[in-house]
Amino acid sequence: MRLNQWLERGGVLEAVERTGAHFNPTRVLGKVLFWFVMFAVIMLAANALGMESLAGVFAELVGYIPSLMSAIVILIVGIVLGRFTGGLIMASAGGVQGGPTLARIGRWMVVVLAIFMALQELGIASDIVTTAFAILFGAVALALALSFGLGNRELAGEVTREWYARYRAERDAIQRETVKREAAADAEMAAEDADTDERPIPPAPAATDDRQ
């Protein structure tokens, strides 16, 4: 139950439900563990009965289950990071026209990357998956560049001006704070110097007559 609550807070269940699928993480994890134990028991029984070929098949299945669980974890983490990335982009460019679109693109880029990583973890046509991801990533990057450079020049200019204005404001605030600190330090040093100058000079000790 805690796993379901954690995935619900991370937005994983919501993302899966949008695809029309019904997903119960606790039940899926229970089934994976059940079949892992079942295959391990069958493998041990086959070894005990001398059925080496059958034991080899189940040994491969048992060895494949950790990769399957790793792929599931990669997908879950990818969905959570995708939602975080989308929220981060939305927070930085949400007030700009086209900000929600940029947030969705960033979120799905992370999710697609997680899908390709999960497929590579499963060992499903690793070379094809790597090539397909490179082609897809390049196509998306080219589409974004063309969209910003040609189709949405006003949007690109607005986004750039917005980010530059925020950078200027933060830089000016840091400079003002630095000037205030330096002025306060100079004033403190001047006050210490003035206090030192106003201190009375102690009189010199009276000379004694050594002839006595």
- Residue 81 domain flag: yes
Give the pLDDT confidence score for residue 212 in this predicted structure: 47
Question: In total, how many domains does the chain have?
Answer: 1
Q: Which residue has the tokens 């002839």?
A: 211
* Per-residue pLDDT of the chain in tens (212 residues, 90 and over written 9): 566 566 666 566 665 565 455 566 667 777 777 777 777 777 778 777 777 777 777 777 777 777 888 888 888 788 777 777 777 777 766 566 666 777 787 788 888 888 888 888 877 766 666 777 777 777 666 666 665 565 556 666 777 788 888 888 888 888 888 888 888 888 888 777 666 655 555 555 555 555 54
Is residue 132 included in any domain, yes or no?
no
Structural domain contains residue 77: yes
- The answer to the question of residue 177 being in a domain is no
Evaluate whether residue 204 is within a structural domain: no
Q: Is residue 98 part of a domain?
A: yes
Phi-psi region of 46 (alpha: psi -120 to 50; beta: other; left: phi over 0): alpha
C-alpha closest to that of 62 among 25, 34, 28, 30: 34
Domain contains 181: no
b/e string for 175-205 if b means 16 or more Cβ within 10 A? eeeeeeeeeeeeeeeeeeeeeeeeeeeeeee
Residue 112 in domain: yes
Q: Which domain holds residue 115?
A: 2-125
pLDDT for 126: 66
CA distances from 56 to 110, 115, 120, 122, 147 (A): 37, 29, 23, 19, 53
Structure tokens at 171: 């830089």
